[in-house]
Amino acid sequence: MAKPKLFSPGPIDVAPETYAAMCGPTIGHRGADFEELYASVQPGLQEIAGTSRGVFLNTSSAWGIMEGSLRNLTQKKVLNLCGGAFSDKWYGVAKSCGKEAEKIQVEWGQPIDPADVRAKLSEGGFDTVTLVHNETSTGCMNNLAEIAAVVREFDDVLLITDTVSSFSAVPTPFDELGIDVLLCGVQKALALPPGLSLFVASERAQARAATTPDRGYYFDFVEFQTNHEKNNTPSTPAIPHIYGLKERVDVMLAEGLENRYARHAATNQALLDWAAGHGFESLAPEGFRSKSLGCFVTPDDLDLSGWIKAVRNNHGFLINGGYGKIKGKTFRISNMGNETLETMQELFVALDEELPKFRK
């Protein structure tokens, strides 16, 4: 059986042109050929990230940078902002790294209240905050600008932001917002296979890292900066991924970032409209819904697993049946990456054809 086209929220569908680009020649990563490749992706990535700082490339999932950020930057105590599977896990990772950690916990699908962040930080003792901008498990997008502004009220507190499923789908202007670490993986809106992560670190973050003992090597921010200045990486890079990244960045800039953001907004609205037309309720409240995916509450009269299986087997499309503790209670559909109104409509036709067979 042919593999289905992925409308799950990561990894997502990868274009044939991207796979072709990834088949570039193997080159030495300690020479001019790689340095040229590394340098060639920087201007575009900086434009997408809204920064004049370097965008570091690392061979790992985003979790490597999520853990590495704590090891580099948390010297006192971290405040984890939790409201879904990935933001909740960040608190557990902090504890497993031996870091002192507290959390603000909201119900899955609900946004973080910036006022609560201010109140908690006012208690003192914190030097880092972790935020998942777009919680992929719930389809809830937090107000990054407002939360970043609150954190900036506290001079010694650094903000680490996961933009795994929002980077390049919506604006995330690093310099303008005063974020200290912005990180993502490439398997979501960037539409590459998993295996590469990107991050930007502020001058404040780099200065903090330089004074942090036991920060390790593989994710050492100081090593990344030192090697970046030579257009290189601290350890062996995933060169095929960087070829693919170059191809995707070029495509994004040719489309135009504002056009790209508008396309994601349009495909997401089409998804929300389709769901509302069938009585499917979004888990996240209005005003805080992701622009790159939808997460919907599974109604009692729907055989979710049967519907998903039929859509896959009969039409070759795969959506996701929920994640973590809300698996089966919700389902998720991606509109990120390369999707258009036309490709989303193809999915809706398939979903609609099978849906009546699985509603009681």
Residues at the binding site for substrate are 332
What type of residue is 26?
Answer: T
C-alpha 184: how far from its chain's center? Answer: 5
Cα–Cα distance, 156 to 13 (Å, whole number): 41
346: tokens are 């193809």
Helix, strand, coil shares, percent, the chain, to 5: 45, 15, 40
- 80: Cβ contacts below 8 Å, ≥ 6 apart: 87, 90, 91, 94, 101, 102, 103, 104, 129, 130
Rg over CA atoms, the chain:
20
- Tell me the HSE value of 23 on the side-chain side, using a 13 A CA sphere: 5
Six-digit token string for 166: 């929002």
Q: Which residues are annotated as a binding site?
A: 332
Reading the block at residue 151, the tokens are 């954190």
